[in-house]
Structure 1
Amino acid sequence: MTDLFAHLDDRRAIIDRRALAGRLDALAAETGDTGQRRRAMVALLRQALDAGRAEIGRRLLLHPSAGRVTAHATAFLTDQIVRLSHDFTIHHLYPASNPSAGERLTLVAVGGYGRGDMAPFSDVDIGFLTPFKQTSWTEQVIEAQLYTLWDLGLKVGHSSRSLDEMIRAAKEDLTVRTALLEARFVWGDRALYDQASARFDAEVVAGNARAFVADKLAERDERHKRMGDSRYVVEPNVKEGKGGLRDLHTLFWIGKFIHRVRTVPELVDAGLLTSRELRQFARAENFLLAVRCHLHMLAGRAEDRLTFDVQREIAARMQFAERPGKSAVERFMQLYFLHAKSVGDLTGTFLAHLDDQLAARGRRFLPTIRRRPGKLNGFVLDRGRLALPSDDFFQQDPVRLIEIFALADRHGLEIHPQAMRQARHDAKLIETQGVRRVARANALFLDVLTSPRDPETVLRWMNEAGVFGRFVPDFGRVVAQMQFDMYHHYTVDEHTIRAIGLLSDIEQDRLKDDHPLSTAIMQHVQSRRVIYVAVLLHDIAKGRGGDHSILGAELALRVCPRLGLTEAETETVSWLVRHHLLMAATAFKRDLADFKTILDFAQVVQSPERLRLLLVLTVVDIRAVGPGVWNSWKRQLLAELFDAAEEVLRLGHKQRGRAARIAGKKEEAQRLLALDDKAFARLARRLPESYWIAEPVEVIAANLIHIQKAGGAPLHIAAVPDDDRGATLVMVLAADHPGLFYRIAGGIHLAGGNIIDARIHTTRDGLALDNFLVQDPLGRPFAEAEQIVRLTRAIEDALAGRQKLLPKLEARALPRTRAEAFRVAPNVFIDNKASNRFTVIEVNAQDRPALLNQLAYALFQSKVTVHSAHVATYGERAVDTFYVTDLIGDKIDSAARVRSLEKRLLEAAASRSENAVAA
């Protein structure tokens, strides 16, 4: 028995190897048939394996945070299974009566199995080692043992090598070298294992420390990029993600390769960890191992992704409870991210120790940017990094806790990890010494926040050191706080810091192609400080159990004066935080062709400067949510709203007259189509005035071509990719009849399309002209010819009633089944004040296939005419808005009618089938 498992209680309750060995010997005595013996062995070992896993699972539920103990127990169980199967194989299946010197075999655990850190369904990484080239007997034994392990349902990562082959492979392959670094004797010829270990040290490790370190750090960086390069993604990979177990393993591997330590605590004696850092390492590793073991238990297989659908269950298994403003799952995930942050802190200080050991005097082993700034106000440079002259430097003047980051930003310097560690240790001085009340400290912080260089990086360092949350305690409350939904990709603090980085990129013209309007605006804002502070504070009140916009606006009134903002700047920041969701909600959920929408929005905004600031804040807020959330369609809608609102704010209500606007659009459309006056007039007279107001010129031109091509056909469908909007414009010209809208929507859904906007028009000669903006499931236009053919055919079939839509729509599963981890209570808002002409209906519901079709069918059943529809999705939540009238074109203002409509829409939003179209 190795020391690794000495701490396990009642090991025989997990597996009793001696008792099982006796039973296996008895089974072998019952028959001489090798096949029968092997089958009997596998059956008995499978029972033992299942019973052992059940016992480990029971212990984990009793002690849900015992990650290391659970991992070691699993490795112990695996050891005994491997030993029993090996003994049975060499004694009862392929006995060697007089083994030669070459017929020796050692079983070596490598990788995570060698380390003893095995989750319940981890791979069994095992090496079969022979002194020379394999003999027929060793081949038989290895093959038989592998089949046994596979028959037991174990996933085995294996290698079969001679001593020379092992050394050669370790020299050539970093993965093999790393796996063998964790090698542990399991069973077989112990002398052979000792010989292999000695040769590995002498021939692979000796003299190669620098190359190994460089290779492992490069491998780590590549892995981080693959996993999203942030430790604050809300669905992290516990093993491979940034801040996960693999990062801790990398530190141990480096220390083990350099100093040949056997355990993590020995890294303290080697000078690569302090005693405090060792405790930090142990806590993080134990927690992450516990989470990984729970993940495996829940999935019943190897699973390392902490997805939404299991987060709630693991929080319950680990006995997290709800607190005011925070659910149990959010508390669990916050602790996860704090441990991931701790892993990042450890990595920095570990590498600093490593640098000191490996670098030549006055130089760096790890690459850095070499700078020699002048005035450092008492701070010093250590191999090109900003460092402290003494451990009590922050205590002498706690404002230096802010100043070190301001200097790092001003001079483009890295901060020495030892200085970061001291900052973490001394961060409490910010509270105890009243640093927040010091004007110089606030000015330095504001310099970092509004830096024209790289505020994102320096603020992230400040956050990693715990200084950010101490200096702005309201920000400290959202550090590592996740948002339990499928829309947000990062924790609140990471989202905020990324948004500040995006704002800096926009201001510095680094995103001009993506955001030309915002880039132009940033050159003309009256106060840079206002927009940077607003971005900092926009989500700062999340997790407090109320409307974070209102609470955040109140916080801004308190925080801004402290940071040195004027009364006018403070008022503007507070307003921006209060209304930071207004522009997106208006652009994505309302009909921008309805002038009342623009007037209502402008009435809240009130000034062109606020409008400019709000647009920039909205853009960076949406982009910082995560990859794939921003698209050209959102950019187009926000730009349309900005332009319309700016015109109102500049000119008041005296816009260009309705007739002038229509005439201007007609003139531009005629120019685009290159038609003579007579031909254009013939087309234009078919369309009512409301159409010319509602549609942009590009869509009008596409519609007129569509009408031309249709001729006198009763149905004509066309689809044109629109790169500016990031969607495909689907145009349907058909005889108008009730239910047209929901049938078209059903056909588009069947073709795999997502409708993001829809406008419904009726021509003067009684035809319906419906425009849909459609994207594929990945948020891109339908551009391929086959896609467009499939789309138009599906609409034709739906309108012709050639197939039952309901069964086909219901068969289309949500693209991400983890959406089922969320429950969005359906809600319906019916507003008769938002538009002068229409009743505006907003439906919030859980996103699912054909939701729009079901809602449209409910409106059809309610005898309501849909004039436009606007679709927005926020992860698992869908928000569908309809502009409607009754069948004679009036608003729906009868209280009884409103209640009936609300009831039917709620049923449609909540149901997957009852209210969907049946044919």
Structure 2
Amino acid sequence: MPLGVSTARGPFGYRRFGIEPRCAKALLGGSAEMRALHMAQFAPIFRIVSLPSIPRQRKIVDRRQLASAIARIVKEQGVSDGRQAIVAELRKALESGRKELMERLAKRPGAGHEHAHGQAFLIDQLIRLVHDHVVDDVYPAGNRSSGERIALLAVGGYGRGEMAPYSDVDLAFITPDKPTHWCEQVIEAILYYLWDLNLQVGHSTRSLKEASRMAKEDLTIRTALLEGRFLWGDQEVYDAASAQFWNEVVPGTEAVFVQEKLVERNARHKRMGDSRYVVEPNVKDGKGGLRDLQTLYWMGKYVHSVKSAAELVKKGLFTEREYRSFRRAEGFLLSVRAHLHTIAGRAEDRLTFDLQREVAARMNYADRPGKSAVERFMQFYFLQAKHVGHLTGVFLAHMEDQTAEKSRMADFIANMWPGKTRNVEGYVITDGRIAAPSNDWFEQDPVRLVEIFAVAEREGLEIHPGTTRMARRDAALITAEVRKDARANALFMDVLAGRNDPENVLRWMNEAGVFGRFVPDFGKVNAQMQFDMYHHYTVDEHTIRAIGLLSEIERGALKEDHPLASDILPKLINRRVLYVATLLHDIAKGRGGDHSVLGAGVAHKVCPRFGLDKKETELVAWLVRFHLLMSATAFKRDISDPKTITDFVAEVQSLERLRLLTVLTIVDIRAVGPGIWNSWKRQLLSDLFEAAQQRLRLGHKTHGRAQRVAEKKERVAEMLGDLDSLVTSLDDMFGDSYWIAESEEVIAINLPHYAAARAGRHSLSIHTEFVEALGATMVTVIGDDHPGLFFRIAGAIHLAGGNIIDARIHTNRVGKAVDNFIVQDPLGKPFSEAAQLMRLKKSIEDALANKIDMVPRLAKRPLKQVRAENFRVAANVVFDNDASNRFTVIEVNATDRPALLNRLTRALFEQSLLVNSAHISHYGERAVDTFYVTDLLGMKVDSAERLRKLERALLDAIEAGEAELAEAAQ
């Protein structure tokens, strides 16, 4: 047997293909004539299906014409001298073929399969031409030995015939035995030609024995050979390699292969964010991407020896409908990947914000009322990712049933231990999974489509994937009549406000298509993304995560992270109101208009259907309408200003509303994505809650100003310990406004610092300290007050890598400035290391001493978030003279930029305004900066003409900053 292939006997030998050992020997040995005869007989077994028919192939590449051109060059210039000319011809053909395929993609932007196969066809033809030229012209061998044979295999994605424009070209060179000198020369020459074409080539050279041995040892190699497609060269060597793979490598390893692929898949998902709803997904490797579909095919092919994904239907792993869903998702993802490569001009599989708009435009998505083209495109993308998740679930369930060989054993065990399988309300419970007892179970009573999820949540069970498949198939049975059914709505409420795991059960319900059918308004936000850098998940995923967080807090699992919410939840009277409000708070996104107002309308419509009474319905509608009120007040307003609390309480009106709104606000923020929630936000919300709670309990009988100041002084004295005398000794330096505005913690830091600066007669004193309770760093600057102090400090802090999130500006009775800044890094973390604190201090010193050229250096700093340059927020300035009794409140919305705060505060200084406090919020690419200001006489700014001038000055500052940033980037 010259090819060195074993003819193993037994059920996994050639007999598994219906080939007797004697035939196998004839197949791999004997004369060339006999081998050819037997190969012809058994070719259907060993062949890999060739690429599907490619329309107008010669428009992509005319192999015959190109072969003639190469032959002419060899004849006229010789092999060595003509090499560059041959490379030029091949390169020209490659560029021409790619251009033709790009034009076809532009005409048919969704033809993902056709484009992918066309790319593979183009590379196929070029490699075949290179092989023939090398073998016939470069290293011709008149009488090759049996060892001087090479089979070229396309492996990996190239082997499947699925290539994007700049995909790697993965090749395997297989030789009968250890490669001869001639084989090595030929392989090297082929590779050099391909590299000269600037192709990214992944390659391996192995003998038949090495290929078998390494495939057994390495999952990656085994997967690559599983996808192996005969490309060119010696057909017999390929056939032997294929037979060897299926005869020696695969048998007995099916279950291990499936397990290893699942471990590999889970690790890949974890690297990619472990959600199919991240807003910048990886089309190839992300959860719900192409690799997940390929993994299904690999497992099916390995276990069942199928030649195409279509054969998985015959094996019972997919229904016809599911296979169509498989093909549709695959075709769409292949199209998206092709457009990504084309736009980037290189291999690019990440659907980043900057590419999403272009891909959406190329795939002919258009704007619709309330939803942009890119949001519509991404919604369809996530729907396909969702389908991939469903296909994965049902596929794996059937793989488990078919490969674990447990059906008869399960019956045996069930008879021995009857408790293993039980019945709950007609459902079959086995191994922690709930299953429908018959194929027409849901058809008999469509309410069961909701009931099964309620039972699963109550009993702590998983839904059997086979039953999920049935639910997905029968979801259309949920009609208006079912939606109005009182029992169905009660069961849905059991899931939504479940005590065990409502998050996962709602996610299963969503992926089965039942959630969107039962609550059509939720179906409208299914897979809907928000095109910004603040929201990390689609609307439906964000909502389900928020419900999950609410459940976790209620179960006491997040006491350390959310002490306030953990304390509030047991005191609530209207528990289910909170769960319904969490479900509905973003339900009207994408409709155009204020989603809070529109969502309140949805609440009025659906709450009675859910079984809520009139009072509960009104409460849900209020929570949805004002679900952003608390965060806007805490993060954009000065909560030390009594008017802020008065206005907030006037809207909230009751302690129960305050409690509900507080918890809803917390889970809403936390569910936006990683890194959004931090200690500073927790502190602000807690302070607002406490102030509002006190006002609601005491009503108008709140303590007077003098009494509040006296109480705070007592608490600060206690905190200072041995330094408590500073409270009275410095009493003449600080007025009541300072004592009311600052917290006890801040004052306890300020007083010793001020006393030390006065004792040392320092004209400038800077103190930086990490305050754990705030989750931030406090920077205090004490010095002689002078105009422009704020904007210089703001610029210096940013140059040191900090973001100001809160600032309070004080001038005491002897003219000293005492300015407190709360600072975090761009990721929302505090500066806590000594080197970081020193860097902050040094930067402020240099800025106030005019040692640095502030504005140009700020413009050169990188954006706070990667790819933020792809977003533009329409600049907007809002004045509010009612939000405070003493100050004009200015709120500025703009695209977040490195020099923004510095420019805005400089503009305020140039307009002769004094800043009392500043509150800085960031929502991804959007900055919302709020300033409490007066004129130089301490009065509000209420002149219409002056407000117009001020608005123009602030807008000019924003535009100048963006222009300077663009210039610095060039």
Instruction: Give the alignment's TM-score, normalised by structure 2.
Output: 0.91
Decide which of 68, 77, 83 is 1:31's aligned counterpart. 77
| Residue type of the alignment partner of 2:205 | S
Query: Which residues in structure 2 correspond to 1:543-622 (within 5 Å)?
Result: 543-622=590-669
Q: Does 1:905 align with 2:905?
A: no
| Residue type of the alignment partner of 2:89 | L
- Structure 1 residue aligned with 2:223: 178
Q: Is the 8 A contact 2:809 2:917 kept in 1?
A: yes
For residues 843 and 48 of structure 2, the distance between their equivalents in structure 1, rounded to whole angstroms, comes to 66
Deviation (angstroms), 1:277: 1.3
Return 94-103 or 223-232, whichever deviates more: 94-103
- Structure 2 residue aligned with 1:13: 59
Decide which of 670, 681, 685 is 2:728's aligned counterpart. 681
Q: Is the 8 A contact 2:893 2:927 kept in 1?
A: yes
| Residue type of the alignment partner of 2:662 | L
Q: Is the 8 A contact 1:363 1:383 kept in 2?
A: no
Q: Tell me the secondary structure at the aligned position of residue 961 of structure 2.
A: coil
- Structure 2 residue aligned with 1:526: 573
- Structure 1 residue aligned with 2:316: 271
For residues 518 and 140 of structure 1, the distance between their equivalents in structure 2, rounded to whole angstroms, comes to 72
For residues 504 and 41 of structure 1, the distance between their equivalents in structure 2, rounded to whole angstroms, comes to 68
Return 873-882 or 719-728, whichever deviates more: 719-728
- Structure 2 residue aligned with 1:623: 670
For residues 887 and 409 of structure 2, the distance between their equivalents in structure 1, rounded to whole angstroms, comes to 72
Query: Which residues in structure 2 correspond to 1:70-85 (within 5 Å)?
Result: 70-85=115-130
Give the 3 Å change call, closer, same or farther, for CA 148–704 of structure 1 in structure 2. farther
Deviation (angstroms), 1:805: 1.1
- Structure 2 residue aligned with 1:412: 460
| Residue type of the alignment partner of 2:677 | W
- Structure 2 residue aligned with 1:878: 927
Runs of at least 5 residues in structure 2 that lack an aligned partner in the other structure: 1-46, 412-417
Query: Which residues in structure 2 correspond to 1:471-490 (within 5 Å)?
Result: 471-490=518-537
Q: Is the 8 A contact 2:846 2:852 kept in 1?
A: yes
Q: Tell me the secondary structure at the aligned position of residue 934 of structure 2.
A: strand
For residues 453 and 727 of structure 2, the distance between their equivalents in structure 1, rounded to whole angstroms, comes to 65
- Structure 2 residue aligned with 1:499: 546
- Structure 2 residue aligned with 1:809: 858
Give the 3 Å change call, closer, same or farther, for CA 62–779 of structure 1 in structure 2. same
| Residue type of the alignment partner of 1:543 | G
Deviation (angstroms), 1:105: 1.6
Rg larger in 1 or in 2? 2
For residues 48 and 818 of structure 1, the distance between their equivalents in structure 2, rounded to whole angstroms, comes to 36
For residues 676 and 431 of structure 2, the distance between their equivalents in structure 1, rounded to whole angstroms, comes to 41
Q: Is the 8 A contact 1:837 1:890 kept in 2?
A: yes
Q: Does 1:855 align with 2:901?
A: no
For residues 377 and 610 of structure 1, the distance between their equivalents in structure 2, rounded to whole angstroms, comes to 38
Deviation (angstroms), 1:354: 1.5
For residues 721 and 139 of structure 1, the distance between their equivalents in structure 2, rounded to whole angstroms, comes to 64
For residues 197 and 660 of structure 2, the distance between their equivalents in structure 1, rounded to whole angstroms, comes to 63
Deviation (angstroms), 1:382: 5.3
Deviation (angstroms), 1:83: 1.7
- Structure 2 residue aligned with 1:741: 790
Q: Tell me the secondary structure at the aligned position of residue 398 of structure 1.
A: coil
- Structure 2 residue aligned with 1:650: 697
User: Cα deviation per residue 1:119-169 (whole Å; 9 max; x = unaligned)?
Assistant: 111111111222222223322322232232223222122112111111111
For residues 157 and 48 of structure 2, the distance between their equivalents in structure 1, rounded to whole angstroms, comes to 16
For residues 826 and 73 of structure 2, the distance between their equivalents in structure 1, rounded to whole angstroms, comes to 58
For residues 540 and 468 of structure 1, the distance between their equivalents in structure 2, rounded to whole angstroms, comes to 13
For residues 409 and 123 of structure 2, the distance between their equivalents in structure 1, rounded to whole angstroms, comes to 47
Q: Is the 8 A contact 2:49 2:229 kept in 1?
A: no
For residues 97 and 807 of structure 1, the distance between their equivalents in structure 2, rounded to whole angstroms, comes to 72
User: Cα deviation per residue 1:453-495 (whole Å; 9 max; x = unaligned)?
Assistant: 0000111111111111111111111111111111111111111
User: Cα deviation per residue 1:268-313 (whole Å; 9 max; x = unaligned)?
Assistant: 1222222111111111100111011111111111111111111111
Q: Is the 8 A contact 1:601 1:645 kept in 2?
A: yes
For residues 857 and 373 of structure 1, the distance between their equivalents in structure 2, rounded to whole angstroms, comes to 73
Give the 3 Å change call, closer, same or farther, for CA 363–721 of structure 1 in structure 2. farther
Runs of 4+ with deviation above 4 angstroms: 362-365, 370-375, 676-680, 913-916
For residues 902 and 373 of structure 1, the distance between their equivalents in structure 2, rounded to whole angstroms, comes to 72
Q: Does 1:633 align with 2:680?
A: yes
Deviation (angstroms), 1:30: 3.4
Q: Does 1:780 align with 2:829?
A: yes
Deviation (angstroms), 1:684: 3.9
Return 384-393 or 202-211, whichever deviates more: 384-393
Q: Tell me the secondary structure at the aligned position of residue 167 of structure 2.
A: coil
Q: Is the 8 A contact 1:355 1:364 kept in 2?
A: no
Deviation (angstroms), 1:686: 1.9
Return 745-754 or 145-154, whichever deviates more: 145-154
For residues 129 and 79 of structure 2, the distance between their equivalents in structure 1, rounded to whole angstroms, comes to 19
Query: Which residues in structure 2 correspond to 1:51-62 (within 5 Å)?
Result: 51-62=96-107
Q: Is the 8 A contact 1:868 1:883 kept in 2?
A: yes
Decide which of 403, 425, 444 is 1:377's aligned counterpart. 425
Query: Which residues in structure 2 correspond to 1:97-176 (within 5 Å)?
Result: 97-176=142-221
Decide which of 461, 468, 478 is 1:430's aligned counterpart. 478
- Structure 2 residue aligned with 1:725: 774
For residues 382 and 479 of structure 2, the distance between their equivalents in structure 1, rounded to whole angstroms, comes to 24
Q: Tell me the secondary structure at the aligned position of residue 287 of structure 2.
A: coil
TM-align CA RMSD = 1.9
- Structure 1 residue aligned with 2:719: 672
Q: Tell me the secondary structure at the aligned position of residue 5 of structure 1.
A: coil
For residues 537 and 178 of structure 2, the distance between their equivalents in structure 1, rounded to whole angstroms, comes to 53
User: Cα deviation per residue 1:789-836 (whole Å; 9 max; x = unaligned)?
Assistant: 222111111111112111111111214452233221100001111000
Q: Is the 8 A contact 1:4 1:72 kept in 2?
A: no
Q: Tell me the secondary structure at the aligned position of residue 571 of structure 2.
A: coil
Give the 3 Å change call, closer, same or farther, for CA 372–200 of structure 1 in structure 2. closer
Q: Tell me the secondary structure at the aligned position of residue 674 of structure 1.
A: helix
Q: Does 1:387 align with 2:435?
A: yes
| Residue type of the alignment partner of 1:48 | A
For residues 857 and 299 of structure 2, the distance between their equivalents in structure 1, rounded to whole angstroms, comes to 56
For residues 363 and 400 of structure 1, the distance between their equivalents in structure 2, rounded to whole angstroms, comes to 30
Return 90-99 or 295-304, whichever deviates more: 90-99
Give the 3 Å change call, closer, same or farther, for CA 372–696 of structure 1 in structure 2. farther
- Structure 2 residue aligned with 1:315: 360
For residues 915 and 160 of structure 1, the distance between their equivalents in structure 2, rounded to whole angstroms, comes to 55
Q: Tell me the secondary structure at the aligned position of residue 912 of structure 1.
A: helix
Q: Is the 8 A contact 1:38 1:93 kept in 2?
A: no
For residues 395 and 212 of structure 2, the distance between their equivalents in structure 1, rounded to whole angstroms, comes to 29
| Residue type of the alignment partner of 1:104 | R
For residues 648 and 918 of structure 2, the distance between their equivalents in structure 1, rounded to whole angstroms, comes to 19
For residues 145 and 344 of structure 1, the distance between their equivalents in structure 2, rounded to whole angstroms, comes to 41
Q: Tell me the secondary structure at the aligned position of residue 46 of structure 1.
A: helix
For residues 7 and 732 of structure 1, the distance between their equivalents in structure 2, rounded to whole angstroms, comes to 74
Give the 3 Å change call, closer, same or farther, for CA 799–373 of structure 1 in structure 2. farther
For residues 462 and 52 of structure 2, the distance between their equivalents in structure 1, rounded to whole angstroms, comes to 44
Identity within the alignment, %: 63
Q: Is the 8 A contact 1:506 1:519 kept in 2?
A: yes
For residues 88 and 341 of structure 1, the distance between their equivalents in structure 2, rounded to whole angstroms, comes to 47
Q: Does 1:361 align with 2:410?
A: no
Deviation (angstroms), 1:85: 2.1
Q: Is the 8 A contact 1:858 1:915 kept in 2?
A: no
For residues 526 and 172 of structure 2, the distance between their equivalents in structure 1, rounded to whole angstroms, comes to 44
Q: Does 1:401 align with 2:449?
A: yes
Deviation (angstroms), 1:915: 8.9
- Structure 1 residue aligned with 2:744: 697
Q: Does 1:663 align with 2:663?
A: no
Q: Is the 8 A contact 1:127 1:158 kept in 2?
A: yes
Give the 3 Å change call, closer, same or farther, for CA 53–371 of structure 1 in structure 2. farther
Query: Which residues in structure 2 correspond to 1:242-261 (within 5 Å)?
Result: 242-261=287-306
Q: Does 1:443 align with 2:490?
A: yes
